Structure 1
Amino acid sequence: MDKSVNTLNNEHQVCWPERLSYGASNFACCLSFGLIGNFLMYFYTDAYGIYAAAVGTLFLVARVIDAFNGPFWGILIDHTHTRWGKSRPYWLWFSIPYSIFCVLVFTTPHLNLGGKILWAYITYIGVDVLYSGVNIPLTSILPNLTSNANERVTLSTISALFATAGSTLISVIALPLVKAFGQGNNQKGFFWLGLILAFLSCIILLNAFFNTRERVQSVAERRSLPIKTSLKALKGNWPWAIIVFIDFVYWIGMQTRNQVTVYFFKYNMHAAWLTSIMLGLGLFGSITVAVTPWFSKRIGKRNTMMVGWLVSIAGQLVMWVGAKVQNVPIIIAANIIVNLGLGFISGLIAVMLADAVDYGEWKNGVRAEGIITAFSSFGAQLGMGLGGAITGWVLALGGYVANQAQTRNYLELRLDSNHGVRPFRNCPALLPR
């Protein structure tokens, strides 16, 4: 049996090479799927020629599939018992298939519009399902890496720092590299960037498999849990329910903000080059992620997360003012404030979910990391999907036409003449022609 399977011990510590390997796996996920999450809608509408409404519907359909996709992976993890552990093997088994679909989703075969939409459905849903296969284990493995509460906060913080680095890096380099690789052909540019990121992500995920160990497993965990038994871990588990809701709200906001950014600066501000700078401000979130353990020890995890929400909401209100007057310095300052608040939230989601695993075991006598983390992943992906769908539908409702100047619309003119109201006068890119 693998030496990673040991007895429960509150003093389990994780060495730095293992900490870095674990954190880097989140970097890989955020690097490759960050390109998809932040820029796939832009790629579909402005590079591949698919209507915004069709893209928004695709994102929603993918989330419906996630209603089964997330729990499927969770149940699979709870039924997995190998010499490598329960969660680790998924990085070995699915890192290569996931990477292949990361390339396919940015591949542009010459098809009619219906064929393009079908291709988008197949490749996007495929990469989405496989992303769950490598990302859910990233969270489900945390309670098995160590049973030490402080060590879990440390691991979660390291992972969140890597995630912020990955998300920020791809936000900054994506469009410049697409331009460099494509030389005026965005389809080609996105393909080569997707290929490079897929290769790097595959190597990093395999490294995480080889350099992490699952230490914390009880004798009962070495037997497969029936689905009915696994679901008992959710009964009365209010910490789990709250963190799933937080994950959902966090990602619906993040996805909407990130996807709208490229359209806003390209069409409203006529300065597409600002997109990379604005998304790159996510790096400020690493500051609060780094100090999250310190705050958590002094005011508690719950209060630290509440501070994060209050700061991010305040920053979003300032951003609304900046967008209203189209003032770049105000928008930059607001972005920094928002990302500082989000750093506290992202730094605690995984560790609080690990605590929910322990709570479920204490309350119901069932330790089911897979099913608990899978439903959290479903909440996150549902938020991402709805955020993407909302963006697509709003663009479609506004009569968005890719790569053309967006003009004021009939509805706005009617509001002007009938009521003297111009609610969208500073957002012409989101309005019908």
Structure 2
Amino acid sequence: MTQQSDVLAVPPAVDAAPSVLPVTLREKIAYGLGDVGNGFMFDLGQIYLLKFYTDTLGLPPAAAGGVFFFTKIFDALADFSVGTWVDRRQRIGPRGKFRPFMLYGAVPLGLATVASFTQPDFSPDGMLLWAYFTYMLFGLIYSIVNIPYGSMIAAMTQDPVERAQLAAWRQGGSNLALLITTVSFVPLLSMAPATPQGALCVVALFASAGVALQLFCYANIRERVRPATTAARDRAPLPLRPALLAIVRNRPLLLLCLVNVLTFSAFNVKLVAQVYYCQYVLQDINILPWMGFFSMGCVFLGVLCVPWLSKHRGKKFTFILGCAIWALGELCNYFWPAPDSVSFILFSCLAFYGSALVNSLYWAFASDAVEYGEWRTGLRTEGMVYAFFTFSRKLSQAIAGSLPGVVLAWVGYRPNSLQTVEVQHGMTLLMFIYPGALALLTLLIWWRGYRLDEQRYEEILLDLQRRSG
């Protein structure tokens, strides 16, 4: 089938010159739904796969944590390769520079998601190798889809308000996926046959929905920005060494990656630890869907507040405020004298609201770093910027995936049994102190170190327009 007759290849993906047309509401919704699709597949692994490894495949906690650590390091290196591949593309067709990766990668990503939760009849060593293989395969395909998807904001608009809105829509989509997987996955498992095939059907349901939403996103967004300063790339691939040097000289990006390691590992450790905390400390796994429902409601409230706060107080202020609220919620949960389900949900809502203010802005900050890098070096490297940013996210995921397994092994965790006081305290530290302390550290770093505010960004954008004009 030719590109012209492809029913998904609408609207035209790339304008011949930079466009001032605003991003439509349909595009914003479609872009947000794209991350719902990503999240349906990614969140299953990030939240439930460690418990699947320890309690279903029978892997030791430390070995299961090692699967997460080493596969995420592999994924981080894969991100660089994908980012370089994207930036060095020469033949840009009517589908655009980034959108084809979403089209051709969606179905393989869904299949890799299902494979990660299969239970083959292997020996213990074979099970461990299977876990490494399937999760590495998932991570590789996820990079191929997600690097171009994340780079799309910089290609859709150069308006800082629209970028903040797109980032908020994306974070809203991510949080919606997290809400649905947290609230519905365990009840759906209880409704399915109590067999590996029954659980696999639930995973396949999420994966199929994720694929459909990614294809919907592909069909309803467009790429607008092709600055004149990068026109030479239509004739020759971007050399790797200058692209890497451009990343090293991009101070806002480096700082963004540092705090992202801190906050994203904090957030993901909390997601993993909450399954164990609800089952073994509160001794009620059924509280998890309720906690997910109410806390994700507060996340959506935070996402809705981000555009207004960013417009009237600035992105930096909003980010710092989010860190403060996040840390307050975590520390209140830890120091509350008599933990129970009500106080746990209440303070978790406060913490998740703060985390929404933080996480909603990362994509806007990363897009701003694209223009900063172009202004500083003359090279526009959306793919490499986003790849380096996601490298920090994969590093944080490696920490988040391995740390709970290591801590659980250290304190003496035994699956599907009563836990000692030491084990319960270890789960509590993972759940509250680790994310709360890193949120405070992030607040201090961003307050003292980040200088690319709205005024500075506008000056850089005007200078880039003068160069190209």
TM exceeds 0.5? yes
Distance verdict in 2 for CA 1:368–1:5, change over 3 Å: same
Q: Which amino acid in structure 2 is aligned with residue 50 of structure 1?
A: L
Please list the CA deviations of residues 307-353 of structure 1 after superposition, one character each: whole Å capped at 9, or x if unmatched: 0111101111012124x632222211210111110111121100110
* Residues in 2 aligned to 1:67 and 1:239: alpha-carbon distance in whole angstroms: 20
Partner of 2:73: 64
* Residues in 2 aligned to 1:47 and 1:358: alpha-carbon distance in whole angstroms: 47
Q: Which amino acid in structure 2 is aligned with residue 202 of structure 1?
A: V
Q: Which amino acid in structure 2 is aligned with residue 208 of structure 1?
A: C
Please list the CA deviations of residues 51-96 of structure 1 after superposition, one character each: whole Å capped at 9, or x if unmatched: 1111111111112213411111110110124212221111112111
* Residues in 2 aligned to 1:277 and 1:311: alpha-carbon distance in whole angstroms: 21
Please list the CA deviations of residues 190-240 of structure 1 after superposition, one character each: whole Å capped at 9, or x if unmatched: 311211111111111122222221110132343431112322331421111
Partner of 2:461: none
* Residues in 1 aligned to 2:153 and 2:233: alpha-carbon distance in whole angstroms: 15
Partner of 1:21: 30
Task: Give how far 1:425 is off.
Answer: 9.2
Partner of 1:92: 103
Which among 357, 361, 364 is matched to residue 348 of structure 1?
A: 361
* Residues in 1 aligned to 2:264 and 2:429: alpha-carbon distance in whole angstroms: 26
* Residues in 1 aligned to 2:197 and 2:136: alpha-carbon distance in whole angstroms: 22
Counting aligned pairs with the same residue, the percent is 27
Which of 363-372 and 377-386 deviates more? 377-386
Note if contact 2:152-2:223 (Cα within 8 Å) is conserved in structure 1: yes
Q: Which amino acid in structure 2 is aligned with residue 343 of structure 1?
A: A
Task: Give how far 1:383 is off.
Answer: 0.8
1:308 and 2:333 equivalent?
no
* Residues in 2 aligned to 1:328 and 1:337: alpha-carbon distance in whole angstroms: 14
Please list the CA deviations of residues 244-294 of structure 1 after superposition, one character each: whole Å capped at 9, or x if unmatched: 122211211111111111111111221110112223312311111111111
Partner of 2:186: 175
1:375 and 2:388 equivalent?
yes
Q: Which amino acid in structure 1 is aligned with residue 222 of structure 2?
A: R
Partner of 1:162: 173
Q: Which amino acid in structure 1 is aligned with residue 340 of structure 2?
A: N
Distance verdict in 2 for CA 1:131–1:359, change over 3 Å: same
Distance verdict in 2 for CA 1:362–1:386, change over 3 Å: same
Note if contact 2:408-2:426 (Cα within 8 Å) is conserved in structure 1: no
Which among 7, 12, 16 is matched to residue 6 of structure 1?
A: 16
Moved over 4 A (4+): 425-430
Task: Give how far 1:354 is off.
Answer: 0.3
Structure 2: tracts of 5 or more residues without a match: 4-11, 432-469
Which of 289-298 and 188-197 deviates more? 188-197
Partner of 1:364: 377
Which among 408, 413, 417 is matched to residue 404 of structure 1?
A: 417
RMSD: 2.2
1:194 and 2:208 equivalent?
no
Task: Report the count of equivalent residues.
Answer: 414
Task: Give how far 1:427 is off.
Answer: 5.9
Q: Which amino acid in structure 2 is aligned with residue 128 of structure 1?
A: G
Partner of 1:418: none
Please list the CA deviations of residues 100-134 of structure 1 after superposition, one character each: whole Å capped at 9, or x if unmatched: 10010011111111111111000011111211111
Which among 338, 343, 361 is matched to residue 351 of structure 2?
A: 338
* Residues in 2 aligned to 1:21 and 1:424: alpha-carbon distance in whole angstroms: 43
1:111 and 2:122 equivalent?
yes
**Matched position secondary structure for 2:247:** coil
Note if contact 2:303-2:357 (Cα within 8 Å) is conserved in structure 1: yes
Partner of 2:463: none
Q: Which amino acid in structure 2 is aligned with residue 23 of structure 1?
A: G
Which among 277, 289, 292 is matched to residue 303 of structure 2?
A: 289
**Matched position secondary structure for 1:141:** helix
Structure 1: tracts of 5 or more residues without a match: 413-422
Partner of 2:219: 210
TM-score, normalization: structure 1? 0.91
Note if contact 2:75-2:136 (Cα within 8 Å) is conserved in structure 1: no
* Residues in 2 aligned to 1:265 and 1:424: alpha-carbon distance in whole angstroms: 13
Which of 349-358 and 158-167 deviates more? 158-167
Task: Give how far 1:159 is off.
Answer: 1.3
Which of 256-265 and 209-218 deviates more? 209-218
Partner of 2:452: none
Task: Give how far 1:12 is off.
Answer: 2.9
**Matched position secondary structure for 2:225:** coil
* Residues in 2 aligned to 1:250 and 1:220: alpha-carbon distance in whole angstroms: 37
* Residues in 1 aligned to 2:428 and 2:318: alpha-carbon distance in whole angstroms: 35
1:141 and 2:155 equivalent?
no
* Residues in 2 aligned to 1:260 and 1:188: alpha-carbon distance in whole angstroms: 26
* Residues in 1 aligned to 2:61 and 2:92: alpha-carbon distance in whole angstroms: 44
Which among 265, 270, 281 is matched to residue 268 of structure 1?
A: 281
Task: Give how far 1:3 is off.
Answer: 5.5
1:224-303 to 2 correspondences below 5 Å: 224-280=237-293, 281-303=295-317
Q: Which amino acid in structure 2 is aligned with residue 148 of structure 1?
A: D
Q: Which amino acid in structure 1 is aligned with residue 308 of structure 2?
A: W
Q: Which amino acid in structure 2 is aligned with residue 159 of structure 1?
A: R
Note if contact 1:18-1:211 (Cα within 8 Å) is conserved in structure 2: yes
* Residues in 2 aligned to 1:32 and 1:3: alpha-carbon distance in whole angstroms: 26
Partner of 1:416: none
